[in-house]
Chains A and B, each alone.
Chain A
Amino acid sequence: MLTRSPDRVALTGASIALVSVLFLPAASLRPNRLAQGVAHSWLEAGPVLAIPVLALLIALFSAFIGTRAVRGHALSSTGVLLIGGVAFSLGSLSDSLLAKADVIARVSIGSGTWLTLAGAAIIAFSGYQALSDVGRRGGSARTRLLYPVFTLVLLGAAVANGGLAEVSLAVEYGIRTTVFWPAVGAHLRLAGVSLMLGLCIGVPLGILAARNSHVRRVALGLTGIVQTIPSLAMLGLLIAPLAALSAAYPTLREMGVRGIGDTPAMIALTLYALLPIVRNTYVGLAEVDPAVVDAGHGMGMSRAQLLWRVEMPLALPLVFEGVRAGAVLLVGITAVTALVGARNLGSFIFEGLGQAAPDLILLGALPIIALAIVADIGLTLLANAVTPRGVRSA
């Protein structure tokens, strides 16, 4: 099948990338870690720049031509190649800039690089989407998975090629290798445990809300109010009572309950996770066809049998949707809890803000964004997997 209209999404991505390559600074050279830098353009990266430019031109071209399958493969591969090419060019640019500069000079990644990468991601995504749309003719799901793998390989090669390790972000990482991965772990642990607690409290609360209108009003009302409290205010509110509790009961203190640190963080995060989970559990159960419930009762199912064999399986996709929303929310708010002394990726952000070191902020922010995206995709896939076959659309 020939497609007549050009792929608008891919064209948007390619335009963003093109403008960024031509007009925005690829990197800035700063005399030291904190000083203002001087912007440098892509043109200084040298001959390796040919790779991203070529990829970009092919992407622009292939947005107009071919069957959906051919176009999908062309866009996916050029998107991936563009990401790799940018990484190589950045390494090469960083090498050439630092060669002429002082030892304490730093190369920071410029807006042009970020936006080119964003454009490349859009191109690759539109190609991936086109392949998913044509289904089997776009290759099996496993074939499509090659593109993300290929991206990682190219990025690895770019790192190995050198130059990237001298970019300021990598230098900040290099200084903090020993604390970075524990911080990622702590971040995941705090968000994950709070999400689990939210699930353990939220699902039963949602079930009760679906059964009883009083519980519903109170539960949805309270969790709604919690959601409107700014996270920083919530953490502040928790400090005093927790500190008092800890002081009054030594056993609690020994268990680690204190006004600052992980305890208030976990309580606040659990409360934030409740609203999407309670609401979606309630809505999922309330949306079950009353005729189905009546038939179940009339055939002699007990309340528990009806709940676990019929209502919950039917509500499960919505419950998971709530868990997904909660997970993305928690990954973000966990960063804020670094302010009350919970050590996690948020610590880098606030440290960076304190030192006015933008690359340190990025060292905290970028992994948080990545974690949120991974949680989002992972839980969406899980929600699809738990959707019963008979109710799956298409």
Chain B
Amino acid sequence: MIHLQGVTKRYGDTLAVDELTLDVAEGEVCVLIGPSGCGKTTTLRMINRLITPTSGRIMINDRDASELKAEELRRSLGYAIQSVGLFPHLDVAANISVVPRLLGWDKPRMRDRARELLELVGLDPEQYMTKYPSQLSGGEAQRIGVARALAADPPVLLMDEPFGAVDPLNRERLQGEFARIQRELHKTVVFVTHDIDEAIRLADRIAIMRDGRLVQYDTPEAILDSPVDHFVRDFVGSDRALKRLVRVPVSDVMDTDPPVARRAATAEEMLAEVKRTRFVYLVDEDGRLTGWLDRAQLKGGCSVEDALSDADPHQVAVAPDASLKEALSRMLGLGFRSIAVVESGGRLVGQVTLGSVEGAMTDSDDHQGAPVAPELDSGDLA
């Protein structure tokens, strides 16, 4: 889909990008990563010709990018950047419709498309269509930046640290949503980041760059298992076993039959309903998580009220599309041995236990055929 052939960018005496050759297959997410100044953003901006290469060829869909009119080329490539760059004088609907308007769509079509995209990125169209950028939070602005990039349904998305400017919790959420959207839309994506966790989580292939050169270009698993040199090994970090968890969504390993009880009036009734485990999740009629119950306390003679804890799903649960690493760090942070998995509507769909996390780690190591022992006992989990 995208093919870079010996692409070089020179600024005076310095080489920003040096003879870069790279192929991005259709429907794949290619993440460009490396230390600052490694040429990753320059590479991205050469693809949509915001920067003109000094030499080399860039082919998009088998057509030489330099032969197209720059404006027309850019309209066919979605573009999202870290600072978002929403137009402050236009409302959200008009901001999303920038490219459709350039392409001459009619008004009803632009409105329908804006609504559709707001729903796709998880914002209520009724509420957001007429807002102005100054009324949005950082996370909302980033979502609208992504919606805007998708507006004209371009086959290719170019994203330059699109989630770089939001807080870690929001970034985690946006990454999950991006992964969901990508599963739906199958765009060809070139994604620049300096966050290795983000790269491992979202990439089909990671291109690690250094001083304008491509050091390693491979799947996240391959890069974690067999880094080509010290630079890549250091860049990926010593907690490679833990990083692997980033690749596994919670929904893959969760126990879909967690211990559940309805809230009942007396301790006996609740104890009767709950047999297996010490902790039991409490749900309402619609299956939404409302809290949990400590059986040990109940047996010890506490009242039902004392043994109950009310749950704020945002605090004590993870989403099905969250990564296993996030689930693990939440469990460790809360001091729990298991954590509830809750859908966006609040419905309890399963639970993840420390045991299942451990299982997932061993699985992926077996799968990759890598040695298990040195990585797991080296204190990575501490």
The answer to the question of B251 belonging to the interface, with a C-beta cut-off of 8 Å to chain A, is no
Is A390's CB under 8 angstroms from B88's CB? yes
Hey, which chain A residues are within 8 Å of B158, CB to CB? 298
Is B133's CB under 8 angstroms from A299's CB? no
Of B71-79, B285-293, B319-327, B372-380, the one touching chain A: B71-79
Docked Cα-Cα span, A56 to B145, in Å, equals 59
Hey, which chain A residues are within 8 Å of B90, CB to CB? 388, 390
Known: A298-B81, A300-B72. A389 touches B50 (CB 8 A): no
The answer to the question of B89 belonging to the interface, with a C-beta cut-off of 8 Å to chain A, is yes
Docked Cα-Cα span, A300 to B89, in Å, equals 19
- Contact bitstring B60-94, A, C-beta under 8 A = 1, else 0: 00000000001111111001010111111111000
Is B134's CB under 8 angstroms from A391's CB? yes
Is B89's CB under 8 angstroms from A291's CB? no
The answer to the question of A208 belonging to the interface, with a C-beta cut-off of 8 Å to chain B, is no
- Contact bitstring A257-301, B, C-beta under 8 A = 1, else 0: 000000000000000000000000000000001011111111111
Hey, which chain A residues are within 8 Å of B81, CB to CB? 291, 294-295, 298
Hey, which chain A residues are within 8 Å of B71, CB to CB? 300-302
The answer to the question of B181 belonging to the interface, with a C-beta cut-off of 8 Å to chain A, is no
Is A389's CB under 8 angstroms from B75's CB? no
The answer to the question of B98 belonging to the interface, with a C-beta cut-off of 8 Å to chain A, is yes
Is A314's CB under 8 angstroms from B74's CB? no
The answer to the question of A313 belonging to the interface, with a C-beta cut-off of 8 Å to chain B, is yes
Is A389's CB under 8 angstroms from B85's CB? no
Hey, which chain A residues are within 8 Å of B99, CB to CB? 299-300
Is B89's CB under 8 angstroms from A388's CB? yes
Docked Cα-Cα span, A289 to B79, in Å, equals 17
A-B contact count (CB 8 A): 75
- A294-B50, A299-B99, A301-B71 are known; give 13 further A-B pairs, CB within 8 A: A289-B85, A295-B85, A296-B98, A298-B50, A298-B74, A299-B102, A299-B148, A300-B72, A300-B102, A313-B89, A388-B88, A390-B89, A391-B88
Interface residues on A, range: 20 to 34
Hey, which chain B residues are within 8 Å of A355, CB to CB? none
The answer to the question of A305 belonging to the interface, with a C-beta cut-off of 8 Å to chain B, is yes
Hey, which chain A residues are within 8 Å of B72, CB to CB? 300
Pick the most buried of B70, B76, B87, B158: most chain A CB atoms within 10 A of its CB. Answer: B87
The answer to the question of A239 belonging to the interface, with a C-beta cut-off of 8 Å to chain B, is no
Write the nearest CB–CB distance from A308 to chain B, whole angstroms: 12
Within 8 A of B (CB), among A297-345: 297-302, 305, 310, 313-314
Docked Cα-Cα span, A391 to B134, in Å, equals 7
A-B pairs with beta carbons under 8 Å apart, 24 shown? A289-B88, A291-B81, A291-B83, A292-B88, A293-B85, A294-B81, A294-B83, A294-B85, A295-B85, A296-B98, A297-B50, A298-B48, A298-B74, A298-B81, A299-B99, A299-B102, A310-B89, A314-B88, A314-B89, A388-B89, A389-B132, A390-B88, A390-B90, A391-B89
Is A390's CB under 8 angstroms from B133's CB? yes
Write the nearest CB–CB distance from A305 to chain B, whole angstroms: 7
Docked Cα-Cα span, A139 to B133, in Å, equals 32
Write the nearest CB–CB distance from A333 to chain B, whole angstroms: 34
Known: A301-B71, A305-B102. A296 touches B85 (CB 8 A): yes
Interface residues of A (CB under 8 A from B): 289, 291-302, 305, 310, 313-314, 388-391
Hey, which chain B residues are within 8 Å of A390, CB to CB? 88-91, 132-134
Write the nearest CB–CB distance from A316 to chain B, whole angstroms: 9
Hey, which chain A residues are within 8 Å of B70, CB to CB? 300
Set A298, A302, A388: member contacting B79, Cβ < 8 A: A298
Hey, which chain B residues are within 8 Å of A391, CB to CB? 88-89, 134
Set B74, B85, B86, B133: member contacting A300, Cβ < 8 A: B74
Docked Cα-Cα span, A391 to B133, in Å, equals 9
Docked Cα-Cα span, A303 to B71, in Å, equals 10
Set A292, A297, A302: member contacting B87, Cβ < 8 A: A292
Pick the most buried of A300, A301, A388, A390: most chain B CB atoms within 10 A of its CB. Answer: A300
Docked Cα-Cα span, A295 to B90, in Å, equals 14
A294's nearest neighbour on chain B, judged by CB, is B85
Known: A300-B74, A314-B89, A389-B89. A295 touches B132 (CB 8 A): no
Hey, which chain B residues are within 8 Å of A294, CB to CB? 50, 81, 83, 85
Hey, which chain B residues are within 8 Å of A298, CB to CB? 48, 50, 74, 79, 81, 158
Write the nearest CB–CB distance from A296 to chain B, whole angstroms: 7
- Contact bitstring B133-169, A, C-beta under 8 A = 1, else 0: 1100000000001001000000000100000000000
Hey, which chain B residues are within 8 Å of A301, CB to CB? 71, 98, 102
Write the nearest CB–CB distance from A92 to chain B, whole angstroms: 56
Write the nearest CB–CB distance from A199 to chain B, whole angstroms: 21
Hey, which chain B residues are within 8 Å of A310, CB to CB? 87, 89
Is B79's CB under 8 angstroms from A299's CB? yes
Docked Cα-Cα span, A296 to B99, in Å, equals 9
A310's nearest neighbour on chain B, judged by CB, is B87
Set A291, A293, A313, A388: member contacting B84, Cβ < 8 A: A291
Is A296's CB under 8 angstroms from B50's CB? no
Pick the most buried of B73, B89, B102, B148: most chain A CB atoms within 10 A of its CB. Answer: B89
Hey, which chain B residues are within 8 Å of A314, CB to CB? 88-89
Write the nearest CB–CB distance from B50 to chain A, whole angstroms: 6
Known: A294-B50, A391-B134. A299 touches B89 (CB 8 A): no
Hey, which chain B residues are within 8 Å of A297, CB to CB? 50, 74
Docked Cα-Cα span, A70 to B158, in Å, equals 60
A391's nearest neighbour on chain B, judged by CB, is B88
Hey, which chain A residues are within 8 Å of B74, CB to CB? 297-300
